[in-house]
């Protein structure tokens, strides 16, 4: 029912959010780093937030506080761009709120959850540059957490359901975008799910966890390395993300999205295996995935500022 509630509410609310977005002028307009030719509605995150709230209000009401803060921060960033320094401070505040709601295991649990939030909010935001990409990848990760079962199952299904409902309108060609409001929201929700899933788990889970969210983390790591090698500011936007480089090679949007979802499925599968074995084996699985991924990234040339077309 959690999945169904989130999905239905998202299907109902997303067209409403689109109309409100156009009425208020909260739109993603064409520009140098944009791929669309017409303005696209930017309030998809508001619809996903309502869907998550409807699904989580009964059993996880405290989650609504950090999710609301993340959505509000992102929408503010959509309406009027916030400086990187102020944005980071605000993200840390959202992370602290999330940490108090769902502290990760251990004495530094509040801090660890806050770090999860800041990392995943930015990773998902960087990934959100192509129709259906971020929503599909985060939904895939959410379903992987749901497969693990336990206390994270229902919130993971809520996140997955809300994103599946949103994808009816976000699939290429997208009629509405997540916007920063949506990417900050689902990054925060994914961090809360991850912190919840770790409850009562041993060392194996910590090695497995990055594999369950591997595509956003890998894209961010590649972007940081690429910008550092070219001496570009780390916070500067560009059109050299993995998905951009695949598009430069002539790949169409559906092919790119499906390929990266498939990669996330493979790494999530490896993460599920690592979650259920001993710590040494889990570390081996994680290390093997990192080595294989790094070799592919280097061979294909994703760390270059622009790949050849």
Over residues 176-208, the pLDDT tens digits come to 999 999 999 999 999 999 999 999 899 999 999
Looking at the structure of the chain, the number of domains it has is 1
Q: Which whole number is the average pLDDT over 57-72?
A: 96
Whether 305 is covered by a domain: the verdict is no
Please determine, for residue 309, whether its predicted confidence score (pLDDT) is greater than 50.
Answer: no
Whether 221 is covered by a domain: the verdict is yes
Cα–Cα distance, 125 to 133 (Å, whole number): 11
Please determine, for residue 131, whether its predicted confidence score (pLDDT) is greater than 80.
Answer: yes
Whether 306 is covered by a domain: the verdict is no
Whether 309 is covered by a domain: the verdict is no
Whether 56 is covered by a domain: the verdict is yes
Q: What pLDDT is attached to residue 225?
A: 84
Please determine, for residue 308, whether its predicted confidence score (pLDDT) is greater than 50.
Answer: no
Smallest CA-to-CA distance from 169 within 3, 65, 16, 2 is with 16
pLDDT band at 34 (very low <50, low <70, confident <90, very high): low
pLDDT band at 224 (very low <50, low <70, confident <90, very high): confident
Whether 14 is covered by a domain: the verdict is yes
Cα–Cα distance, 123 to 116 (Å, whole number): 10
**Angle of helix 44-56 relative to helix 153-170, nearest 10 degrees?**
150
Whether 102 is covered by a domain: the verdict is yes
Q: What pLDDT is attached to residue 300?
A: 83
242: domain range? 2-300
Q: Which whole number is the average pLDDT over 218-247?
A: 79
Cα–Cα distance, 77 to 83 (Å, whole number): 9
Please determine, for residue 41, whether its predicted confidence score (pLDDT) is greater than 60.
Answer: yes
Whether 182 is covered by a domain: the verdict is yes
């Amino acid at each position: 029912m959690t999945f169904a509630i989130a999905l239905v509410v998202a299907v109902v609310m997303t067209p409403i959010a689109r109309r409100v977005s156009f009425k208020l002028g909260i739109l993603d307009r064409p520009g140098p780093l944009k791929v669309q030719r017409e303005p696209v509605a930017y309030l998809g995150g508001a619809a996903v937030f309502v869907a998550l709230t409807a699904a989580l209000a009964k059993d996880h009401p405290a989650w609504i506080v950090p999710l609301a803060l993340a959505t509000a921060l992102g929408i503010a960033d959509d309406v009027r761009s916030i400086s990187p320094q102020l944005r980071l401070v605000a993200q840390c505040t959202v992370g602290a709120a999330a940490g108090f709601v769902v502290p990760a295991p251990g004495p530094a649990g509040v801090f660890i959850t806050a770090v999860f939030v800041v990392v995943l909010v930015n990773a998902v935001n960087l990934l959100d540059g192509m129709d259906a990409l971020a929503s599909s990848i985060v939904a895939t990760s959410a379903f992987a957490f749901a497969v693990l079962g336990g206390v994270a199952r229902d919130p993971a299904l809520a996140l997955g359901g809300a994103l599946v409902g949103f994808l009816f309108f976000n699939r290429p060609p997208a009629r509405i975008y997540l916007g920063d409001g949506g990417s900050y929201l689902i990054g925060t929700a994914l961090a809360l799910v991850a912190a919840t899933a770790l409850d009562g788990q041993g060392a194996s889970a910590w090695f497995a966890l990055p594999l369950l969210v591997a595509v956003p983390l890998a894209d961010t790591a590649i972007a940081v390395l690429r910008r550092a090698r070219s001496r570009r500011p780390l916070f500067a936007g560009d059109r050299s993300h993995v998905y951009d480089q695949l598009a430069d090679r002539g790949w169409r949007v559906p092919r790119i999205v499906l390929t990266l979802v498939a990669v996330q499925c493979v790494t999530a599968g490896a993460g599920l295996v690592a979650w259920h074995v001993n710590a040494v084996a889990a570390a081996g699985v994680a290390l093997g995935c990192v080595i294989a991924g790094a070799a592919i990234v280097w061979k294909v040339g994703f760390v270059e500022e622009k790949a050849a077309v």
